[in-house]
Structure 1
Amino acid sequence: MSVVVILTLKAAEDQYDQLAATMQAILPDTAKREGAELIRAAGDAEARTVTVYEEWDRIESQQAYMAWRTERGDIATLVAMLREPPELKVLTKLF
């Protein structure tokens, strides 16, 4: 069953530009991962927030992707730029 994942990243005081640049650099690889159907991101510089919208063929594909990012150290790098833990919502795609 297809899923939608919404990830909200809140940058630390001086980290928004770096966070936005990092996401722009890594999300093309995300879009190429097996099971990725749609990957989009938007930023709000004033609120220092980046929101990522992902559609995956199934939750297992997204979980495999996250394991890959964790193994590479990408998740730790991103978390170091944040003022609070990432917010992750997983929803069942209806349409």
Structure 2
Amino acid sequence: MDLKKTFDTICTVPGSIGAVMIREDGEIARTSGDMNDLDEAYALSSLMKDAAQLVTIALPAAKTLTRVTITRQSGTSVVATLHHNHIFAVKQTER
């Protein structure tokens, strides 16, 4: 399990403008892009928390990797998925 490689791959998703990796206990393990901006990270924290909660709720019944996308009116989306007990979330913008 190479979490750094997984995180780096998520950071290169087309339209990605920031990513975060959160441990199951809620501690932030890594950030990139504009997620390093504390104001932006704070503004998106509840959205990411909601996406992460939906992932963990769906996970027991899921047979494959579960992904949740929440889109804001501003044209940005947060996509979250659970992988090796870490929640990976990427912020994307519409093209």
Per the TM superposition, whether the score is higher than 0.5 is no
- With normalisation by structure 1, the TM-score equals 0.31
Please state which structure has a larger fraction of its residues in strand. 2
Q: Which has the larger radius of gyration?
A: 1
- With normalisation by structure 2, the TM-score equals 0.31
Q: Relative contact order, CA 8 A, sep 6+: which one is greater?
A: 1
